[in-house]
Amino acid sequence: MIKPHGSDTLNPLYVKDDKARAALLKEAEGLPSLVVCSAAAANAVMMAGGYFNPLTGYMNKADALGAAEKMVTASGVFFPVPILNMVEDASSIQGAKRIALKDPNVEGNPILAVMDVDAIETFTDDEMKMMTDKIFRTDDMEHPGVKAFNSVGKTAISGPIQVLNFSYFDKEFPETFRTAYQIREEMEKLGWEKVVAFQTRNPMHLAHEELCRMAYHAVKADGILVHMLLGKLKEGDIPADVRDACIRVMAEKYFEPNTVLITGYGFDMLYAGPREAVLHALFRQNTGCTHLIVGRDHAGVGDYYGPFDAQTIFDEVPKGAMDIEIFNADHTAWSKKLNKVVMMRDVPDHTKDDFILLSGTKVRAMLSEGTAPPKEFSRPEVSKILITYYQGLEEKPEIKMGKHSG
């Protein structure tokens, strides 16, 4: 395993000591409080788990502008996106030096963290536009990440935090949610030194499964970390519990024992394409992984990014800024000629007709009709779970979205 980003040891911001945590919770009940936005809550959960090492809290204005513009904070820390606590109105905590942050995603808005307020600063419209353009490469409000980033206010509350829980993630996904330090501990027990991470916000079809194997063998890894996003997604994406079930059945049935760790993390998807790919690399380094698979249109949405922008952005990362290595992948699909899944760049003699290619729209239509995609596209066990899910949507349109999707 490799060392964390920015420090020799991981410094998670979750208060592990039961007595200290109880004392903080009691103190927090008497502090001025604020219900944070979902993105800020997810940022707290990620800092709690050590994923955003070496941050000690939310960024101030100067650090956020530096991270957005140059991927380096004003204080000199490499970080590819701003990590912020943004609000529309901070008047309720004006003058407070210490505040309680409340969770917007759990009923009753329980206290999520205690924060020391270093500064309350407001971004100008021009600064918001610059950050939006740099992070997302577009200011189109139809882009789900752009819309989310620009819909929570322009005032940033910065300062260190102590996190008291992991929001809903550890309760709703007890078998899957893991902190960065828990993943390090599990990999250490398995004796893994060289580990390939695979990021997913979707169920894994056969091409994804084979891509993991390709990377595993190419870098001579000891194991694969399948690491799924458990936070908020855009409308139409498959809820985390369904994805979790699909990925687990695929891994348990088709991978060698003790070669795959199925885990998840509590973060809201940014859909920021290239910038999010760098963020993914940074927090996979904090889990101890040595390699991250970056495929076509990694973390993208719609047609906002070129197919390999999420790979070429790593040329812009300052040398030595991160230790993790990137495994650049091409589109993978079943070759009718070779009777196996291949990377398209490895078979220049193939034409489009030589592959089994199905659009997302086509696959969703098949599953909704109760028809499983061909075995060359998806494992039957995975298709069965997805058919049940999609047919449930047809019967009960009101459950179209997962509990925390949006």
Instruction: Report the catalytic residues.
Output: 201-202
Residue 376: CA atoms inside 13 Å, Cβ hemisphere, count? 16
Q: What tokens were used for 32?
A: 């001025």
Q: Which residue is listed with tokens 């049940």? A: 388
> What Rg, from alpha-carbon coordinates, does the chain have?
21
Phi, psi of 129 (to 5 degrees): -65, -45
3-state secondary structure the chain: CCCCCCCCCCCCCECCCHHHHHHHHHHHCCCCEEECCHHHHHHHHHHHCCCCCCCCEECCHHHHHHHHHHCECCCCCECCCCCCCEECCCHHHCCCCEEEEECCCCCCCCEEEEEECCEEEECCHHHHHHHHHHHHCCCCCCCHHHHHHCCCCCEEEEEEEEECCCCCHHHHCCCCECCHHHHHHHHHHHCCCCEEEEEECCCCCHHHHHHHHHHHHHCCCCEEEEEEECCCCCCCCCCHHHHHHHHHHHHHHHCCCCCEEEEEECCCCCCCCHHHHHHHHHHHHHHCCCEEEECCCCCCCCCCCCCCHHHHHHHCCCCCCCCCEEEECCCEEEECCCCEEEEHHHCCCCCHHHEECCCHHHHHHHHHCCCCCCCCCCCHHHHHHHHHHHHHHHHCHHHCCCCCCC
